[in-house]
Structure formats: C-alpha cells, structure tokens
Chains A and B, each alone.
Chain A
Amino acid sequence: MSDLHSNMEDVLKKVSDLKVLFEFGEKIVPILESLTQFLDETVPLLESINESILESSNRMPEASTQIDSVTSATELATTEILDLVDEITDKIGNTKNILLNSKKKVNMQLELMEKLKNTVQENPEAVKLVDELISSFTKYEEIETTEKILTEVEEASYKITLSLQVQDITSQQLAAVNHLIIAVHEKLDNLLNAIDKSAVEKGVSLSEKKLQSGQHFDADAAYSKDKDLQKDVDTIVEEQQQKASQAEIDKLFS
C-alpha cells in the first residue's frame, strides 16, 4: 500500500514537473517565434552586408591602382619640372660665362681708351671725345646687375628643387595607404571566406587579385622644412661617432 502511495507521489511530482515545463514552454514559444522572425529578417540583412563587403573589397584593387597612378603622374610631372630647372640652370651658367667674357672685353676696351687718351693728351678736343667714349662704356655695372639677377634666379631654381621633394614624401605616404588597403582587402577576403565561401566565387577575382605594391616606404615620412630635424640627426651621429672612436682607442690600448 505504501509502495503504491509512493509511486503515486512520484507520478504526481512528474506531472507537476511536466506542468511547469508546459508553462515554461508557453512562455518560451513566443520568444522562440520572435527569435525565428528576427533571424528571418536578419539573414537578408547579413546577405546585404556580405554583398556590401564583397563590393567594397572588389573596389579596393581599383583604389590601389588609382593611388599608384597618382604616384606615377606626380613622379612624371616632378621629373619634367626638374628637367626644366636643370635646363634653366644650365642656361644661366652659360649666360654668366658670356657676361664674364663681356666684362673682360669691356675692361680691355677701357684700358685701350685710357692708352688712347694718354696719346692724345696734347689735343683737348680729342681728350674730351675719349672721355665721352669712356663714360659711354660704363656698362660694367649693368653687367654686374644682370649677373646678380641671374644668381637670384639660380637660387630660386634651387629652392624649387627643394620644394619638389614633397613628391617623394607624398609618394611614400601614398604607398603606406596602399599597404593599408592591401591589408584590409586581405582581412575582408578572409571574412568573406568565413561567412560564405560562395561569395568569394561571386566576387570579381577577389581571391586571385592580390594587390601589388613593390614600393618600399616610410609610413612616417613627412615634408618638413624644419632644420632642427637634421640637427637632431647630427647630434645622434656625433654621439655615435664619438662612441665609436672611444671604442677604437680602448681597443688599441687593451
């Protein structure tokens, strides 16, 4: 009798547990339904994100190529400007030589006229004429002024070459950006592989189109006219060279 009572108690307990479970089920079912609905809505969203990533990733090689084109174009333009500056400097050099020869000739002519003046000293009329001739020959100063202007132009050309170094610095910065694009492209490629392998196949040669960048760059390269930068380097060089020579002395006497 007591066994039957005990069994009945067990059955009632299990029925009670089952009731709790059903009650819980009643509560959980709407949650599961909303979760299913949420997933239904999320899947297209994820697909669209996937497509968006794929599209962005596919555009990266193009962006990289465009950056390379910008670098090549600025490089070409800079080289052309430098060639012209080179030509201008050559011509200034030639003109300076011509002016130097002119100065020598003027000097010779003045010397000759002085001699002429001495030989015609008896004739005041002739002396007056020679003096007039000498005063008309005072072009020497004009030649010197021209030389001065040419030197200024030469220095300005020199400064142009200094400023054009910005091309090298920007090309290094662009190469650093390109490097970042390559890194992001590779990460996205891996992500797409993880999300949906077929997405990679859909992409325009996504896995094959490895971005190429043969440039070696300094990502921190900066265009600065700050002379302290070189001074700081000079200090390090001096310290290093002193260290080296002390080490040599120590070695010599050890």
Chain B
Amino acid sequence: MKKVILVADDSPTIRKFVSFSLKMSGFEVLVACDGMEAAELLPKYNVDLIITDLNMPNLDGFELIKAIRENENNRNIPIIILSSLNGNEDIQRGLEYGANSYLVKPFDPKRVQYEVAKYLN
C-alpha cells in the first residue's frame, strides 16, 4: 500500500512541485491550500507524513504543527517544514513546535525525496 503524504501550501505551484516529485517516488499525495484545510484532512486519512509551508492564510504552519502535536493521534507523524523563511528564529520556532526537518525554498526535489525517505523507508 502506498504511503500517504499531506502537503500544505497556499501556493498552487509549490503544491504541484512537491506532489510531482513525491509521486515520482511512489507516494500518494494529499494537498491542502492552508493549515486549516490540512487540519481538517488529517482525521479523514491515514497520513504518514506532513510537508508544510509556514506563511499560510487561516492557520499558519506554526499553528498547524502545534495543533498536530497536541493531538494524541497525530503526535508521531513526521513533519517537514518547507518554507522560504530561513531565519534562525523561524527555524528554531518550527523545530520547537515539533517539526522534524526544515527545508528552504527554492528546494531541490531530490532533497525532499531524501527527507521523506528518511522517515518513511
């Protein structure tokens, strides 16, 4: 059975890029256009990993990570942040909230595949 990855990003092109590289690696991809949609999708699917942006409307990436980690059912899902924010504070905050990896945009699709494989293979 294919592993399911949830991608949350308000940019349709980034959602497409990430989906494209993950599908090439044989994963099933779910997409959400903001943190709120991602939080709503989570209980409906068996998500194995989450890739999230930070700057998003409705519910930003930090709040999404916080909400995921506070939920008993989702506490152990690996989370990869994929953001154009590369400041020390943002990285530290993201990791403190519970993200497992931090990737900056523009990203190398191979690096995304590598990070995903690290948690799912």
Contact = CB atoms under 8 A, between A and B. Distances in A.
A11 interface: no
B57 A168 contact: no
B73 interface: no
Nearest to A240: B95
Given A161-B21, A233-B104, A75 B57 contact: no
Contact of B109 (A86, A161, A167, A168): A161
A240 B92 contact: yes
A162 B13 contact: no
B21 A225 contact: no
A78 interface: yes
B107 A161 contact: no
B111 interface: yes
Interface in B1-39: 10-14, 16-17, 20-21, 24
B40 to A, nearest CB: 18
A49 B47 CA distance: 59
B57 A216 contact: yes
B91 to A, nearest CB: 5
Interface in B77-104: 83-86, 88, 91-92, 95-96, 101-104
Contacts of B60: 216
A237 B95 contact: yes
B75 interface: no
Given A214-B57, A216-B55, A236-B91, A223 B20 contact: no
Contacts of A237: 91, 95, 101-102
B51 to A, nearest CB: 14
A86 B19 CA distance: 10
Contacts of A172: 55, 84
Given A168-B84, A229-B86, A237-B102, 17 more contacts: A75-B12, A79-B12, A79-B16, A82-B20, A83-B16, A86-B20, A89-B20, A89-B24, A162-B109, A164-B13, A166-B106, A168-B105, A171-B11, A215-B10, A218-B84, A221-B84, A227-B108
16 contacts: A75-B13, A79-B13, A82-B17, A85-B20, A86-B20, A161-B109, A168-B84, A172-B55, A172-B84, A215-B57, A218-B55, A222-B84, A230-B108, A233-B91, A233-B104, A240-B91
